A = this chain, B = another copy of it.
């Protein structure tokens, strides 16, 4: 009914992902034009950081949503949600 945690940030997230898509195309163009490896690597590090920024924003929204929803839920549901959030954080930290 009330959408995912990021529902109020969709436009901003969408704009950030469009920019990231453009950055990935930029990396492809650098390679097509034989740009120096080290410069291509610097650009890839920038894209990675931009993606992490989107992930961290989604996670913030999700945690705020979880906590706000905690009042009305059973402890089993809450535990399952926390386990899920933990697994997502672990994937981010290790990727």
Q: CA–CA, A37 to B60, complex, Å? A: 10
State whether A82 touches B63 (Cβ < 8 A). Answer: yes
**Consensus secondary structure, chain A interface:** helix
CB-CB under 8 A for A48 and B51, given A31-B6, A78-B67, A94-B94: yes
Across-interface contacts of A94 in B (CB, < 8 A): 49, 52, 94-95
Given A24-B24, A25-B21, A36-B4, are A64 and B82 also a contact pair (CB < 8 Å)? yes
A16 to B95, CA, bound (A): 18
Q: A38-B84, A45-B92, A56-B89 are in contact. List 11 more A-B contacts (CB 8 A).
A: A3-B34, A4-B37, A21-B21, A40-B58, A41-B92, A42-B91, A55-B93, A67-B67, A70-B70, A71-B71, A89-B89
